[in-house]
Structures are given as C-alpha cells and as structure tokens.
Amino acid sequence: MGSCFIKAVPHPLPAQKEGADRLKLFQDKFSIYKKAGEPLYKTPKSVQECIELLKIAPDGIFEVAGNRYSKSYLFSDVNYNTTSEREQVGIFESYCRFLNAMDVEFKVTINNKNRNMKALREKVLFQKKGDGNDRERDCYNQIMEKKIVEGKQGIEQERYLTVSIIRKNYEEAKAAFASLEAVLQKGFGELGSSLAALNGVERLRVLHDFYRMGEEEYFSFDFEEAVRIGRDYKDDICNSMLKFYPTYMQDEKRFAKALFIKKYPSSLSDRFLTELATVPAHTIISIDVAPIPKDVTTSTLQKKYMGIESDIIRQQRVRNKNNDFSSDISYSKRTEKQQIEEIMDDVRENDQRLFYVAVTIIIKADTKEELEAIEETLVTIGKRNSCQIEAHYLKQREALNTALPIGVRQVETMRTLMTQSLAVLMPFNVQELYLPGKGGTYYGVNQVSRNILFGNRKRLVNGNGFIFGVPGSGKSFFAKMEMGNVFLNTDDDIIVIDPQHEYFGIAERFGGQVVVLSTYTGNHINPMALPEDVSDIQGIIAEKGEFMLGICEQCMGEALNSRQKSIIDRCVRLLYQEVKEECMRNRGRQEGERTHTLWKQKTLHDYYGILVAQPEMEAKELALSLELFIGGSLNIFAHETNVDIDSRFLVYGIRDMGKELSAISMLVMMENIGSRIMENAKRGRATWLFIDEFHVLLDKEYSAKYLFSLWKKVRKLGGLCSGITQNVLDMLQNYTATTMLANSEFVALLRQAPTDLEKLSEVIGISPEQLKFVRGAQSGTGILKHGNMVVPMDITVDKDSPIYKLFSTNPFEGKEAAHEEGH
C-alpha cells in the first residue's frame, strides 16, 4: 500500500476572511503567512463533506487541500510543573530552540478525549482464572476502576503535533516529512519527550473518537479492504448528523462549541495552558503556529524602522519651520520606535523569531447547560490570567476543522508572538506512567493529574529496584501491592526474605508457602545442594566458592586474608570433585553413552569435614568459627532441605534467627534463591525477589559482594530484585549499595527523614522540587521512578477494602482479613 492514497472528491471554494490582525505595527507586512485555508465545500451536503480531507495514505500522510499535506505525531508529556524553577527554565529554553527550528506550519493539540472504557478494562483489569484467587482480582479491579472514575471522569489526554507542508505530490511530501522528522526527534528528545508518528489508521481513529464520542470500541478500518471495495473512509469516522449554529454546533447526541483566545495580556503564566487542559471536560485545545521567515522579519523590521525614522525627521522639520524648537517628537512615534527597537534587539541578540499564533478550543457536552458551564469555567480561567476567551461567531465549522489534528487552518484569529511568548503556551504538565497489558503493574495514581499509574518493570533495561520509607510510610504496603499484582496478573514466581514476618498473611491468602527459619522449628535448608542440571559445573563451583567466602566472613566476624580465601575455595573444589569429574567424562561421550549417577547432595557438614582435614592453621581457625553453625545449636543450614521451597509464592521468615544467624541466613536464602531463579529461567518463568531489611546484607564485604553478584544474575536471567529498607543513610555510605541503586531503574520513594533526602535524590536523579512529594508525605504517597519517568504517586487504598485489610501492617487488620470466609 506504500504510496497508495484513498481519495475524496474536492470542491474548493473561496476562503471566508475573519477578523483583522490586532498587531497594527505589521498589519500588511506579514499577512500572507496568516492567510486561512479555503474549505473544501462552502455548503456541505453531508456530514462527510464537513471533514476536510482529500486523500489519506497508510503511513499517515493526509492531503488536506490542493498540494497541502499533513502528518501527525503523538508526543509524551514531561515533568514541567513538578520540577524546580531551574529545570523549568531548561525545558523552556529547549522548547524555544525547537520552535525556532520549525520553518513550516504546525499545530500543537491537547486532546481530552473520551476514554475507551472497554479497551481500558481489557488492558488494565485483571482477568479471572478460576484458581481460587478471583476474589482478590475483583478487589484490585474495584480499586482501579474507582481511581479511574475519580480521576478524569472517563477522560484520556493525548498530545499531538501536526505538521503541514506544501509539495507538488505525495512522493515529495513523504521525502520532506522524512527529513523533517530528524529535527522533530531532536527537539523533543532534548525536552525529554518521546515522539511517534501516527499512521493512517491511528489518525482516523482520533477523528472517529471525536465525531463518534462514546463509540470508540467500534472503530475499525482496513486500508486494503477500503481500496478493494471502494468504500469511502469518511463513512467509518463521521457521525450521522452535524448541525452548525452561530455560536455552537450539535450532533445526534451532544453539543459542542468552538472558542478562541481573542485578547492576550502583556505577560502570561506558563501554567495557563495547563489550567485550561486540566478542566475535567471533553475538550480539544489547538495552538496553530505559522512561522514568519527570519530574513523576512529582519528586512521588514529594518524597513519599518527606517520609515519611523523618516517620519520623525519629517515631523521635526515641520516643527522647526513653525519655530517650535523645544517640542519633542510625538508620543505615538516615540512608542512606535521603542517597540520596533525592542523587537529588533530580541531578534538580533536573543535569537527570537516571529510567529503567527492562534489558540482554538473545542468543548463538547451531553447537554447545552453542561456546555455553557464548561465554557464559563474556561472563560473564568482566561479572565484570571487576563485573557479574553470568546466563541467563534458564524465560524463554528471552520474553527472545528482548525482545532482537529487534520492539518488545516480556516480561521484568521491569529496574532504575532515572539518565540518566548509562544513558548509560554507550554504544552507540558507532568509525566504519566501508563504501560498496561501483559505483565503490567498498578502503582496507584499520579498525585498531580490523578491518572492511574501502570508500569512494567520487565520493559526496563534493568528492572531491579528499591523501596524506601521510614516506619509508617507505607513501604510494606507498597511492596505487598506489587506482590499481589504479580501473583494475580502473571504466572511469575515470588520469593520474599522476611525478617519481621510481615508477609505471612499475603502468602497464606494466595496459597503460598511460609518457611519459618529458627533454631527451634526443625526446618532446614541446604545451601550446598546442586541443581538438577549440572552441565555448567565449573560455573556452579565458582558460585558456591563465592557463597562460602561470604559465609566464612560472617562467621569469622572480620575480613578474610588471602590464605583463608585460598583454603575456603580449595575445600569447595574438593567438595564437588566427584561431580565435576563425571561431568567432564560425560562431555566426551555421545548422548546414549552418558552416565547419570544419582550422587548424594553435599551439605555444610561435608564441607566442614573437608575443612578440618586441611593442614594449615588458618583452616583450624575457619573450622572453629564454623563449628557453632555446623554441629552446634545454630546448625539449621547444615542438613539436607526438609521443607517445600518450590511454591510459587514463597516467604522465608527469619525474624527469630537471632543476631548470630541473621546475616548468614540472608546469604543462605540468596544462594538457594539464585538456584531457583536459574531453574525458572530455563523454563521461561520470571522470578520476583523481595528482600526486606536490605541494609543488613551490606555490613560485610563478601555478603555485599555476593548480593551484588546475585543482583546482576537475576537481571540477566529475566528476574527482578527489590530491596526494601528504611536505612537510607547506611546504603548511601556503602559503595556497592550506591552502585546497585544508581544502576537500578525502579525506585519507590516514600516518606523519608529530611537528612537522607538530599543525598538520595542525587544518586537516583530526582530534583529538589520533586522531593516536596516525599517530605512529610502521607502514608502510601511519594515518588515513583520508572526508567526515565519520575512521577508523584499515591497508592493509598480505602480502609474498608479487603485488600487494605489484607496488606495493612496492622497485625489485627491483617489477621482479620486473612481469615475472612469465602476465600
């Protein structure tokens, strides 16, 4: 279909002029650049003829008038209103550079469209599986649906950039757009925004969703089929009735009105456009921009300046002739000269350009009364900012065509603005995190926009992350919400290292396994066990060696010297010598000749026996330090595993391990978990590991090193690690932890102590202005970093929700929820 166009028959008519240029200084000089386009049909005989399109192509290039082509791009929001003044200046300057780089007509559109609730439910809500956990899925769905309704009342906001160019044919237009897109990508990249071209079907969908608001789910269009059967594409997007009145319009179900900004103040807030765009109503706000070439601007200004100078000289001569030597030049001429000089200085010294600009607003409502109420709200916002907003009189149809991201402009309500004045109409507000679909996770709502936050850590380059928060900040609740998402909405495994026994309730509710490790339970885990697949036995032995270095360091209570390290490594190699030899023999054999010996799993007891047999004095010291954990009262890791550790939701409870066993148990957990993650990776299953009291593992060199190794391994094997801690300062003082944090793309930052915030913000890349969402934050609110996105989040849940009762850190609420009937 490459260059195929679907055509509509054009019927060009003379353009209807509207209004006069309000900038008297250049009334006749630049008027060619603001000339409005001509409607295709002066008197449309059908709704289809109201849609200003001649031809459309699959790649999204539309011919909207004779030799005028347009293309639309969807661009993402960036954090502007939530950043510091210094960062806002940076964004503002980048936007100015983008505007100066544009030498073709374009329009920026903010479309508060009707949300397709059916598609949203399909993408966001959890699907039932009949596995006994559908009740919890319903609870999550109720939470999300409520947040959606409370937020923007069924409104979804999108931003478009529509560019219009004049070329002889489609092929030339296509080449021109390809060249232009490099400039667009560079400009929006500097702003921190992503830009994606809309194809033909996507552009038609935007129009369909406006004309047929409420019927978004029924849109369907196929280019090949339309060409084959000769169907008019306009039939697929238009509604059945569209009637225009002097100050409003009406379709078969709703009322609409086109407004415009008639009068601007001498200065305007950069939040003005955001104020208009965040009104909870179905609106389209379009900023049409027609750049005036810089050379034309310079020459025109020079001519105008010389003309004013000549007028002043002529005026002075007349006064001198009348013997009036004391009078100054007239006020009007002084003012005119001053204005010209200021503009010339801006153009020459401040890299400013001139643009013709028009702001058109379309509002849509179910009733005329609702329409008028929305209009009154917008007009009030305008008055508050010294702007005059009025309805387009007798130009409703032309204004509608202008506001839609089609690429035409059929009204002349334009005024000249300099680059910086145009940039004040800032189209950015706050970033949105919305990555629904398979594997997506609900993270509450954006505190600023109130839109739901849906992320997907699997899409990140490094999905490992951290959850920070002081006691009472909601960090455990946040972690449980994420665990619930993963368990209910994916097939992934979840493993939790739980030093405070906070996660037993959620594991039991979801039918998981809780393994309580202490000296009195009789539960044992064997960290020296080998996986079923030992094909990479040398790699396995190397990993077990690293593990034993960490164990021995913890037992010794001090850093190991080189002789001790050599002995520890030697004993590990001796422990697995038999297995290694058989693996090496099998490598040289054919499949049918290989032996499969079922050797007995090795334990720390076996390792201890080899260690005490070594002749060095250092070996005796190591054995003595290990004795308590091998044959003494703390020997729970010296036996073969006797608990089920294959559950999909597995929690290790280590609260009662005591100080002596705490750090060692953490290492044993990670060794066991590392093997589990490798096995899952071979089956194509992701593993989520949550480590509470994460800072405990950072006390010793080898435990921190081992943790760092596991952190990298999990990422390579498709798993995801989450460190949960309140001790931010301890982490920031540890080089390994700081490196892990700096390389992790996911961070949930809840309420923090003021002394920790500044250092933490530097490491994870959060601006001081954004920290206001963390300082003194209520429980369950804070900042969420997801890749390059930083959003203010609110993951609070109503206290009467079963999910709240299950996840609350209040043990009585959790117990009550865990034992409710009907699970």
Which contacts qualify for 588-596: CB closer than 8 Å, 24 or more apart?
Answer: none
- CB-based burial of residue 413 (10 Å sphere; 0-12 exposed, 13-18 middle, 19+ buried)? buried
DSSP 14: P
**Distance, CA of 166 to CA of 187 (rounded, Å):** 22
Taken in order 453, 456, 459, 464, is the CA torsion positive or negative? positive
CA 490 – CA 484 distance, rounded (Å): 10
pLDDT at residue 817 in the model: 44
pLDDT at 99: 96
Check if the beta carbon of residue 637 is closer than 8 Å to that of residue 668. yes
DSSP secondary structure of 649-669: EEEEE-GGGHHHHHHHHHHHH
Radius of gyration from C-alpha coordinates of the chain? 34
Beta-carbon contacts of 317 under 8 Å, excluding residues fewer than 6 positions away, are none
Beta carbons of 162 and 287 less than 8 angstroms apart: no
C-alpha dihedral, 243 to 245 to 247 to 251, nearest 10°? -20
Cite the DSSP H helix spans in 65-221. 85-101, 117-124, 134-152, 170-191, 200-211
* CA distance linking residue 542 with residue 576, whole number of Å: 11
pLDDT value for 810:
58
Task: Determine the angle formed by the axes of helices 562-575 and 577-587, rounding to 10 degrees.
Answer: 60
Q: What is the mean pLDDT of each run of 10 residues along the chain (823 residues)?
A: 44 29 50 76 90 94 93 96 89 95 96 87 89 94 88 84 96 96 94 95 96 92 89 91 96 97 92 95 97 77 73 74 67 73 72 90 97 98 96 96 96 89 94 85 93 93 92 93 96 92 93 88 87 80 90 87 94 90 68 54 91 94 90 82 89 82 79 85 91 80 76 85 86 84 90 80 81 88 93 94 85 47 38
How high is the pLDDT of residue 325?
A: 59
Contact 569, 702 (CB under 8 A): no
CA angle 258, 264, 266 (to 5 degrees): 170
Please report how many Cα atoms fall inside a 13 Å half-sphere around the Cα of residue 278, on the Cβ side: 16
Please give the Cα distance from 134 to 127 (Å, whole number). Answer: 8
Q: List C-alpha distances in Å: 138 to 143, 479, 482, 575, 656.
A: 9, 19, 16, 51, 35
* pLDDT (0 to 100) of residue 464: 94
| 494 and 650 Cβ atoms separated by less than 8 Å | yes
